[in-house]
A and B are shown apart, each in its own frame.
Chain A
Amino acid sequence: MATETGTDVRSTADLDEQLGAEQSTRERVLLWVDERLKWLMTLPAVFLLFALTFYPLLRAIRMSTQQYLPGGRTTYVGIENYVNLLNNGAFLESLVVTGKFIGLAVGLEFVLGFGIALVLNKKIKMRGLWQTLILVPMILSPTVIGLIWRLMYTPDGLLDFMAAPFIGRNVGWISDPDVALYAVVATDVWQWTPLVVLVIFAGLQSVPDDIQEAAIMDGAPRWRRFVDIVFPYLKSLIVLVLIIRVVDALRVFAKVYILTRGGPSNATNVISMEMYRTAFRFSNFGQASAMAISLLVVVLILAMSFVKIADIEF
């Protein structure tokens, strides 16, 4: 450090000489900034992220080895919290619910989104307009989305009216344990199918015309052109959009909180809801931290495979 400061002083002195020592204070400050620009610009972001993600992570690891007693005292319990997870019915159940949620929601979003993008893959009029309009659900607060759908799910509400001719009135969209998870999935599908449409549509439009054309000239049937040309072209986009959706679906909270609070009888108790309850309703920070760390391991594996498969450059 000492030598570094020495160099800085010397170089400033050199410049002083060159400029005839007529630098204003402002120029001195600017030069001082310039010499350290690389660190001045990058370190705030790095420092903040370390302080607010890396340090909490270390704390979470430590918290996961502690038991929280009433009155704010803690005792070290080793891996007991992790062992308890294996016998924790609500936690295991929440894993299953989360798995179902992700599978259903992301699956539907992908199939619907891909299908719609394929149909729309033509020169359509007012492309910018409809692309902007389907952006709307993505930018709405999940809280507001939860409220909108709760209004539509209300007994004798809009969806009961629409479903009446088919299944009779009062389905109990969010009060029936057999239906509630599908009701939450529907809101997520509503919000995020447009993202899949936009991404896949952009991908389809960017498939170069001349390759397609050459294949058409060669008389390749449609499905072959799709399998051999379009699909390989879209592969990394597909992986990307799937992983983004899976990672985001894994953290779903606000919609569940507004629609069902995890109920009825834990039918929609996704993992972030279970962690929220464990930590902030039952003040069981140790157990919740163990859940958090386990979840993080899963996410890490997912994210690493994402980077690997999609060949992301940063």
Chain B
Amino acid sequence: MATEQQPDVPFREPSRIERLQETLAENGISKAVIYGVLGFFLLWTLFPVYWLVSGALKSRQTLLSFPPAWIPTEFQVSNFVQLFAQRPEFYQYVFNSIVVTVVTTIIATTIGAAAAYGFVTFDFPYNLDFHLPFYILSTRFMPPIVTIIPLFVIFRNLQLVNTLYGLICVYVMFNIPFAVWMMKGFFEEVPASLVESAMLDGHTHIGAFFKIVLPLVKPGLLASAIFTTIITWNELLFAIILTQDVAAMTLPVGLSSFVTKYSVQWINVSVAGTIALVPVLLFAFIARQELVRGFSMGAVGK
């Protein structure tokens, strides 16, 4: 191996890329293996999702048939109609989920972005511009079950259990660390001189923030809003503890109620599951790059 790599009397000096390619080829992983692994990995990743969505279009018999029906032969769109007919409360679950998600996203993104800008821009006494964001970040590590037990008792006293307000409060808290964490990176990239020159031109600081900084970090705002939306839309634990009936139950709680000890209504589950995953897929496609950053806490830089 080693001797072969010595550049012994070449006709011309191979370019840097050529040398690297040569070595990589020597290292023996062929294209076929690479694409084989990639293909298998994609299949493994996507097939379960396909299985759910295709299940939503099958009839009850074919959904549970043995051997399995790989491709739905009939397209039972009536399954979707039936779900809402059999489970009218499903409208309410969807409605609750939308309200909670939208309000949480707006509040958490606003508060999170403001705080991130504040910590990036201003100097605080006692090094607070380091310690407070650090404290905010550290709550990301707190298992939700730890805070939810006392929060349930507090909310019960405040009569916030089984209300959308209660859920929104908890979700805003849950999402602020993500919002601050993501927005901080975006604000750090805005040159401070931009704000300074705007202020010399007679803008107030808050005016400069709205007119100059915010338009620059629009992609970041969108990304952290989408991240918040996805996390909130998906959340089960808080929702299951803080809601008691249809009035406040969200989609994940509604979905979990389809699974009882004795029987599972698989068609309804497939349809409802499909409905739950569609918006998430749409949003994720818009902010795909930033999502990896969010999930890996910034480990994957831009």
Contact = CB atoms under 8 A, between A and B. Distances in A.
Contacts of A244: 296-297, 299
B37 interface: yes
A96 interface: no
Contacts of B149: 60, 63, 275, 279, 285, 288-289, 292
- The 9 A-B pairs at the shortest CB distance, nearest first, are namely A141-B234, A45-B115, A41-B118, A52-B173, A59-B150, A42-B118, A38-B122, A56-B150, A219-B2
Contacts of A136: 45-46, 49, 281, 284
Nearest to A58: B150
B115 A141 contact: no
A296 interface: yes
A119 B300 contact: no
B49 to A, nearest CB: 6
A299 interface: yes
Interface string A207-249: 0010011001101111000000000000001001100100100
Contacts, number: 308
For the residues of A in contact with B, the DSSP-based class is: helix
B204 interface: yes
A194 B130 contact: no
A91 to B, nearest CB: 13
Best-surrounded residue of B16, B135, B137, B147 (most CB of chain A within 10 A): B147
B19 interface: yes
Contacts of B19: 213, 216-217
Interface in A270-314: 272, 275-276, 279-280, 285, 288-289, 292-293, 295-296, 299-300, 302-303, 306, 314
A151 B51 contact: yes
A144 interface: yes
B138 interface: yes
A199 B5 CA distance: 31
B119 to A, nearest CB: 6
Interface in B49-86: 49, 51-52, 55, 64, 66-68
Contact of A143 (B119, B184, B236): B236
A190 interface: yes
Nearest to B285: A132
